[in-house]
Copies of this chain bind each other. A is one copy, B any other.
Amino acid sequence: MIPRYSRKEMVDIWEPATKFKIWYEIEAHACDAQAELGVIPKANAEAVWKAKDVAFDVARIDEIEAVTKHDVIAFLTHLAEHIGADEARFVHQGMTSSDVLDTTLNVQLVRASDILLADLDRVLAALKKRAYEHKDTVRIGRSHGIHAEPTTMGLTFARFYAEMDRNKRRLQAAREEIATGAISGAVGTFANIDPYVEEHVCKMMGLRPEPISTQVIPRDRHAMFFATLGVIGSSMENIAIEIRHMQRTEVLEAEEFFSPGQKGSSAMPHKRNPVLSENLTGLARLVRMSVVPALENVALWHERDISHSSVERGIGPDTTVTLDFALNRLAGLIEKLVIYPENMLKNLNKFKGLVMSQRVLLALTQAGVSREDAYRLVQRNAMKVWEKGADFKTELLADPEVTAALSPAEIEEKFDLGYHTKHVDTIFRRVFGA
């Protein structure tokens, strides 16, 4: 977790204090269920709730752990300091540490998901707003970095919207994947604890019981979760790369918002660098790097080994905190992105009319010219534009083979921008609904 790329809300989920609070709730709910089943006295279950408002002393628990070398035992010992050794006697009964730890991790991941879903909503709202704002702002579409045909800035935002909307649905699915808990004992047989305890605790913690667990919740769930975050990271990179391209000096179709007090470079004061989107490109790599270890965590030995734990201590907080920060940065970036429609038009006209060659090619074919001849005619005139800076329309109008097939008016009509934007509304309906 890199402080400068962190937001408090997400960091809090991973604080020891939060963790102990969740442990406590799980133990307390488990006691309730055990009391209900008649396994432990009701009074003891009730006594646990005395600590309901306690902020557990992280330093004290660490101190105990230094001796016991076992975190859950350290916590239970500390809990007994709050509710009384005798009252605490039945806490954790029939449970194994992993029942608590694994269920807690999933509670944390679910909460992290909820924040990330809200982040995505913010990104989506920004993209939608900018999409409608620039629905008809014409710019040149580019394939291979080369001018192709006109499109609109609104379509660019709309496609990022559609992509992030898919990511939202993926994240919802990933959230469901890890919204399970397990209180199933040392190897998952419920030998020492009734399945009802698991059901009750899960219900109270907003989880579903894991249908079959071992000592741990199966890690394919977590692998899928982190893989999904990795895909979201890549989509984030996709948007960031687009902005970086738009801002490069020769293109300058957009710029990241540049606040008055901000200094771009200590040496070159004229520079306005797309540092936020470059930063997002790097953060995307950080988010993605959790995918491989999460996949490697799946194959645990027999009913569990603990190799996954250190990995999750790293990628659990780091990946969710980084992605949360990045999505918020991305949202702000989109919200405030400065768009230069006039530069878009200037770029579009860089090769006057050359980008309309496809239309001319089609028109020639439709006028009866063979595909091969049409291609040759268009290419011949296009090359004059490319190599000598000629005007494409002028060249076409002066080419007798072309004018033999198309009238001047017909040629003229091929250079109408409206031709390229006529389906924008249709596409917007597909993306944003009616």
Contacts and interface: CB of A to CB of B under 8 A. Distances in A.
Contacts of A251: 250
Interface string A361-373: 1100110001100
Interface string A247-286: 1111100000001011101111111111100110111111
A151 interface: yes
Contacts of A5: 310, 313
Interface string A279-306: 1011111101111110111111111111
A158 interface: yes
A191 B279 contact: no
A189 B145 contact: no
A138 B207 CA distance: 30
A385 interface: yes
B292 A309 contact: no
A103 interface: no
A145 B302 contact: yes
A73 interface: yes
A347 B383 CA distance: 22
A186 interface: yes
Interface in A50-78: 67-70, 72-73, 76
Contact of A266 (B97, B170, B220, B248): B97
A2 interface: yes
A189 B420 contact: yes
B142 A303 contact: yes
A314 B2 contact: yes
A159 B241 contact: no
Contacts of A238: 220, 298-300
How many copies, total? 4
A186 B149 contact: yes
A159 B269 contact: no
Interface string A179-221: 0000001111111100100000000000001011111001011
A398 interface: no
Contact of A289 (B293, B351, B382): B293
A17 interface: no
Given A220-B167, A227-B231, A291 B283 contact: no
A291 B146 CA distance: 29
Contacts of A227: 227-228, 230-231, 291
Given A189-B149, A310-B5, A386-B270, A365 B423 contact: no
B350 A144 contact: no
A328 interface: no
A2 to B, nearest CB: 5
A20 to B, nearest CB: 15
A248 B347 CA distance: 12
Given A270-B386, A298-B237, A313-B2, A192 B145 contact: no
A266 B370 CA distance: 14
A163 to B, nearest CB: 5
Nearest to A216: B143
Nearest to A382: B270
A394 interface: no
Given A244-B145, A291-B295, A270 B220 contact: no
Contacts of A189: 141, 149-151, 155, 420-421, 423-424, 427
A394 B88 CA distance: 31
A307 B237 CA distance: 10
A424 B268 CA distance: 21
A378 interface: yes
Given A143-B215, A146-B249, 10 more contacts: A69-B263, A92-B266, A144-B271, A145-B245, A146-B271, A189-B420, A223-B230, A250-B347, A268-B355, A289-B290
21 contacts: A89-B365, A97-B266, A141-B215, A143-B215, A143-B305, A144-B273, A145-B247, A145-B302, A146-B272, A149-B189, A151-B187, A162-B218, A189-B420, A189-B423, A191-B423, A209-B430, A220-B231, A270-B378, A282-B311, A286-B293, A286-B311
